[in-house]
Amino acid sequence: METQDGAELCFPQLFNTSCRKLTPPWFEVMLIHILLYSISLLTVALNLLVIISVSHFRQLHTPTNILLLSLAVSDLLVGLVVMPGEILRKTSCWFLGDLLCTLYNYLSSIITTSSIGDIVLISVERYIAICDPLHYTTRITVNRVKLCVCLCWLYSISYSFLFVNDDLTQLGRYNSCYGECVFVVHYVTGVIDAVLCFIVPVTVIVALYLRIFAVAVSQARAMRSHITAVTLQLSVTPKAKKSELKAARNLGVLVVVFLLCFCPYYSASYVLFVFYCNSCLNPVIYAFFYPWFRKAVKLIV
């Protein structure tokens, strides 16, 4: 059923309370859906390769890769759950009901928060590896990293519950009509969220990587100035340092791309999908900078 202004009703049987959706030309709708769902499918496929690679090959079970595995799980859920739900909510009517709307908002918040936590953990791990390499093997172990990842996900689940608690007590309380799925955050809650999930993490990430960059520069100068010293200790140490510096550079690219996609998330709602596309870019970064990922993908394929 169509209304007088040319808009279609989401639920024609509920003429007075149904949401109205403008219908653009069919070829435009098809083009948008094909593009967005292709990105979603590609995100799932690429991150699934990362998860299989790290999980299957035991030699890849390092602290750094465990963190990348957690990030890949978040990115996989973005492509599997968040992207399709966002496409449905932005380009069509929400036909899945108020309960699934609330659960979708809850899952979206969990996935987003866990991604931010993973990036913070990656920055901390690289900071210790570069700035305190003598204590790295004792401080950063696989079991400790796994524990931190579990705590990160538990924190995300608990933190996100605070935002959907009101929606769970009264489903669809913020929907103005049937066929709508909105996520309303109150002013005070929004300020707290901006501080805890944007200002604090970004400040920590930037501060740690500035320190990493400063230490990396000083180490590079030290290696160049002592290049003529030929001892067993000094001949092995530069190789280890180069390996750590290369890892810091590669993960630095990952962090920079994340920040470029993440910062607009809190400044303009219309670029929300840019943040979600970061989940598709991360495996591409692995393919460019990590030979182990390329070898693992070849073996899997």
Domains of the chain, start order: 8-300 (1.20.1070.10)
> What's the confidence (pLDDT) of residue 72?
94
The low-confidence residues of the chain, meaning pLDDT below 50, are 1-2, 4-6, 228, 230-237, 240, 270
> What's the confidence (pLDDT) of residue 235?
46
What is the C-alpha to C-alpha distance for residues 77 and 280, in angstroms, rounded to an integer? 11
> What's the confidence (pLDDT) of residue 270?
46
What is the C-alpha to C-alpha distance for residues 224 and 234, in angstroms, rounded to an integer? 12
pLDDT in tens, 218-242: 766 666 665 545 444 444 445 545 5
Please report, as a single letter, which amino acid is at residue 26.
Answer: W
> What's the confidence (pLDDT) of residue 157?
94
The tokens for 250 are 């590669």
> What's the confidence (pLDDT) of residue 143?
94
What is the C-alpha to C-alpha distance for residues 110 and 47, in angstroms, rounded to an integer? 18
The helix or strand, by DSSP H or E, that contains position 21, with its residue range, turns out to be strand 20-21
The tokens for 101 are 């709307």
User: CB under 8 Å to 95, separation ≥6 — which residues?
Assistant: 10, 179
What is the C-alpha to C-alpha distance for residues 163 and 193, in angstroms, rounded to an integer? 9
> What's the confidence (pLDDT) of residue 77?
94
CA angle 265, 67, 164 (to 5 degrees): 45
> What's the confidence (pLDDT) of residue 154?
96
